[in-house]
Structure 1
Amino acid sequence: MRAPDFWAVDGTQARLLSPLSTAWTAAGRARRWAATPFRPAVPLICVGNAVAGGAGKTPVALALAGEIKALGLRVGFLSRGHGGYERGPLLVDPAVHDAAAVGDEPLLLARSAPTVIARDRPVGARFLERQGVDVIVMDDGLQNPALAPSAALLVVDGGFGFGNGRVMPAGPLREPLADALARVDAVALVGDDRAGVAAAIGGTRPVFRAHLEPLPGTEKFAGMRVLAFAGIGRPAKFAETLAEAGARVVELEAFPDHFVWREDEVMEMVERAQSLGAVPVTTEKDAARLSPAARAMVEVFPVALVWRDPAPVARWVRGAVG
């Protein structure tokens, strides 16, 4: 699904749908009130967001895992496995599983640390405990009341922020911002704050600022004419990252989050790129959903999350796992 345009502005459509937002909010609060969360025997850090769609949770989860490894601890990832047909609990093996089975994000996480997918989060947490991990990082799940995290981090895209500030279906929020902030210990702000995120948070939580940085080897894209295509939360953000790396983005093909391309659709984009004298380029997350044949037709632009000031993040992680 693609987020509707009116989620970005507080217009007539949003106001007309606001009564349904009230019902959505009430249902979510009732679900949390009725739940009895399971608390794992090891520390669990939840990396979540407040809006529907992508905000950069997976890069943040990977960055936190790096901080945990630096402490000499064994970290494992827990994911729902969105987009995959496996229900789990299942230990993800990138050499065996594909995105159709386990989802795209778990494949990226599994390159860094043991990753378990499970629709039943408590079952997945117990499964990870049996793998001998010292800390669990849960990618998404802030609105899932089945688990009681030791600490939680709210990830926000600085370019989109909280949209029109309304709860679904009138806006992009999964729950009122105040409800989300009440259950997190800090905020990770990814990218420049062009949407007034810091002002909306109002100093109620510490804000860790970060940006996505191209990995070594991406220097080859400088000056290259590219046709960018992506099925992520904000495809335009990918185009911006490419441009910042010096690439000449001649066209952007934007698709809904977690979109799965057929080989003939990829071939059409390859041919379109050729007609523009360009190279088709996509993200690592999108590449995980391509067939091997389709993957061979395109270039991949890998990035990693970098903290603007790593020291407070490292202190927060030590407190969360201590």
Structure 2
Amino acid sequence: MTPATSLFTPVEADLRILADNLIQLVGNDHPILYAAAKHLFGAGGKRIRPAIVLLISRATMLQQDITPRHRRLAEITEMIHTASLVHDDVVDESEVRRGVSTIHSMFGNRIAVLAGDFFFAQSSWHLANLDNLEVVKLLSQVLMDFAVGEIQQGLNRFDTNISLETYLKKSYFKTASLIANSSKAAGVISETSPEIIEHLYEYGNHLGLAFQIVDDILDFTGSTDTLGKPAGSDLRSGNLTAPVLFALEEKPYLEALIEREFAQDDDLNQALTLIHDSQGIQRARELAAHHAKLAVDNLADLPPSESRQALVSMADYVLSRLY
């Protein structure tokens, strides 16, 4: 598998600056929030979302260097993403994320919720200081989409009647919206053409959907060590994803197991077996590949560059996580 970081060569130096700036953006006026920020932003992570923003910034600014606004947009994108993870971990009661203790397991739920709120507020303040109304609108939409996606997921728990369209819409709200709108915002700051700006949005949209579908497949095929949580966690909590929705078309008994919320001892294991015995995982792979291809198609009008090639390769990387 291609490591994500090897795709980031054109923006390697930019990402180092970003890592230094993230903790400073929070400030050290609030010791617990500063400690939380150091824990979160110091933990590393792949930084895929800000890397995409920086790659798009460079791909649309070939004749000149990227601006401080591009850099700040990348930092805001990572801060919004991190804030959403802090809240997700509270909702999911996760003790560990990617092998690192979650904020709520270290400081308690109250501090974790407030820390997530604080990071959202900080990102909004820095966003306003970009003095670009269109960019403010784009990233503010993301904050609303996160909440809508989380509520939609909660309302649809164990609902075997949800459609693939509903699942994709929820995946957009929870994952693709940030990538799509921050990609578009990078094009807006670069003052590129309206056509390319819309293509950048669609690139982020389809890449984000592919990313989420792959994550949902890995919930069934990945190891606990790889996932940082027990395999089948989404299904256990009633979150029905693409592999399950496809499997339900083939395995009627799966519906009964889900609708009784795995009340009996072996229900979850039976459900996992039925999903693995169906075409659900393979069809979900094909769906992810479809969206990855659509993402790449939307880069066609960008002039050739190392950054553009890295954006193309990002789609291959997303799919390669399955193998």
TM-score range, shorter chain: under 0.3
Q: TM-score under structure 2 normalisation?
A: 0.27
Relative to total residues, which structure has the larger strand share, 1 or 2? 1
